[in-house]
Amino acid sequence: MGRPTDKTVTDLFIIGGGINGCGIARDAVGRGLSVTLAEMNDLASATSSASTKLFHGGLRYLEYFEFRLVREALIEREVLLRAMPHISWPMRFVLPYHKDMRFDSETPTSKLLGVFMPWMKGRRPAWLIRLGLFLYDNLGGRKILPGTRTVDLVNGPEGAPLEDRFEKAYEYSDCWIEDSRLVVLNARDAEARGAHVMTRTKVLSATCEDGLWRIETRNTESNAIRTFYARMLVNAGGPWVGDIIQTKARLNSREGVRLVRGSHIVTKRLYDHDKCYFFQGTDGRIIFAIPYETDFTLIGTTDADHDDPSTKPECTPQERDYLLDFANRYFKRDLTAEDVVWTYSGVRPLYDDGASSATAATRDYTLKVDTSAGAPMLNVFGGKITTYRRLAESALEKIGTQIEVTKGAWTAGVPLPGGDFRVRGVGTLISDLRGGYPFLTEFWARRLVRAYGTEAAKVLGDAKEAADLGRDFGATLTEAEVTWLMTHEYARTAEDVVWRRNKLGLRLDAGQIEALDAWMARNRHSTPAAAE
User: Domain residues for 222?
Assistant: 9-47+180-256+362-401
Other CB atoms closer than 10 Å to residue 470's CB: what's the count?
15
b/e map of 382-400 (b: 16 or more CB within 10 Å)? bbbbbbbbbbbbbbbebbe
Question: 408, 404, 442: which is closest to 426 by C-alpha?
Answer: 442
Q: Does residue 105 register a pLDDT over 80?
A: no
Asked if the model's pLDDT at residue 5 lies above 50, the reply is no
- What confidence score (pLDDT) does residue 138 get? 87
- Residue 228: CB atoms within 10 Å: 21
pLDDT at 211 over 60: yes
Pairing of strands 88-97, 276-280: parallel
| 237 and 284, same domain (yes or no) | no
Do 454 and 386 lie in a common domain?
Answer: no
Strands 196-198 and 35-38: parallel
Q: What are the backbone angles phi and psi of residue 473, rounded to the nearest 5°?
A: -90, -5
For the residues 436-450, what does the mean pLDDT come to?
98
Beta strands at 225-235 and 9-15: parallel, antiparallel or unpaired: parallel
pLDDT at 389: 97
304 φ/ψ angles, rounded to the nearest 5 degrees:
-145, 140
User: Within this chain, do residues 40 and 101 fall inside the same structural domain, yes or no?
Assistant: no
Is 61 domain-assigned? no
d(Cα 279, Cα 448) in Å, to the nearest integer?
32
Contact partners, residue 242, CB within 8 Å, separation at least 6: 256, 257, 309, 349
219-224 long-range Cβ contacts below 8 angstroms, 24+ apart: 220/40, 220/41, 221/492
Provide the pLDDT for residue 486.
98
Is 313 in the same domain as 346? yes
Dist. CA 352–CA 350, nearest whole Å: 6
Residues 331/336/342/344 CA torsion (nearest 10 deg): 80
Q: In the beta sheet, which residues pair with residue 35?
A: 12
Closest Cα to residue 202, out of 256, 246, 248, 234? 248
Q: Tell me: do 170 and 268 sit in the same domain.
A: yes
Q: What is the pLDDT of residues 9-45, one digit of tens each?
A: 999 999 999 999 999 999 999 999 999 999 999 999 9
Mean pLDDT, the chain, rounded, equals: 91
3-state secondary structure of 287: strand
Mean pLDDT of 343-369: 76
Q: Single out the residue of 198, 224, 218 nearest to residue 10, CA to CA.
A: 198
Q: CATH number of the domain that 439 lies in?
A: 1.10.8.870
Coil, strand or helix at 32: coil
- Residue 121 predicted with pLDDT over 80: no
420 domain-assigned: no
pLDDT of residue 2: 36
How far is it, in rounded angstroms, from Cα 133 to Cα 136?
5
Q: What does the alpha-carbon distance between residue 374 and residue 370 come to, in Å, rounded to a whole number?
A: 9
Q: How many residues does the chain have?
A: 532
Does 511 reside within a domain? yes
Residue 409 counted as domain residue: no
Peptide bond between residue 301 and the one before it cis (omega within 30 degrees of 0): yes
Q: pTM surpassing 0.75?
A: yes
- CA end-to-end distance (rounded Å), the chain: 38
Beta bridge partners of residue 58, listed in sequence order: none
pLDDT value, residue 124: 64
**Is the pLDDT score of 120 beyond 80?**
no
pLDDT over threshold 60, residue 275: yes
Please report whether residue 411 resides in a domain. no
Q: Are residues 388 and 339 in the same domain?
A: no
pLDDT recorded at residue 403: 97
8 Å CB contact between 213 and 53: no
| CATH number where 299 lies | 3.30.9.10
Q: Do 319 and 264 share a domain, yes or no?
A: yes
Average the pLDDT over 428-446 and give the result. Answer: 98
Q: Is the pLDDT of residue 119 over 60?
A: no
- What integer pLDDT is reported at residue 143 of this predicted model? 85
Which of 236, 164, 162 shows the shortest CA–CA distance to 14? 236
User: Are 190 and 226 contained in the same domain?
Assistant: yes
Query: Last residue of some domain: 351, 376, 411?
Result: 351
Given pLDDT bands bounded at 50, 70 and 90, which one contains residue 208?
very high
Which amino acid appears at position 20 of this protein?
N
| pLDDT for the residue 532 | 42
Give domain status of residue 279, yes or no. yes
Express each pLDDT in 145-202 by its tens digit.
999 999 999 999 999 999 999 999 999 999 999 999 999 999 999 999 999 999 999 9
Out of 67-71, 327-331, 446-450, which region has the weakest mean confidence (pLDDT)?
67-71
Q: In the 8-state DSSP scheme, what is residue 149?
A: E
310 pLDDT tier (thresholds 50, 70, 90): confident
The pLDDT tens digits for 456-504 are 999 999 999 999 999 999 999 999 999 999 999 999 999 999 999 999 9
Residues 457, 451: Cα–Cα separation, whole Å: 12
> Same domain for 265 and 390?
no
Residue 252: what pLDDT?
83
DSSP, residue by residue, 368-387: EEE-TTSS-EEEEE---GGG
Q: Which of 154, 339, 307, 292 is nearest to 243 (CA)?
A: 307
- 128 with 214, same domain: the answer is no
Answer yes or no: do 332 and 455 share one domain. no
Angstrom distance (rounded) from CA 498 to CA 501: 6
According to the model, what pLDDT value does residue 363 have?
Answer: 63
User: How many domains in the chain?
Assistant: 3
Please state the rounded mean pLDDT for residues 250-278: 92
Q: What pLDDT shows up at residue 3?
A: 40
Q: Do 322 and 375 belong together in one domain?
A: no
CB 162 within 8 A of CB 3: no
Average pLDDT over residues 70-74: 88
Does residue 80 lie in a domain region? no
- Given 351, 386, 409, the domain boundary residue is 351
Domain annotation covers residue 71: no
Tell me the mean pLDDT in the region 238-256: 88
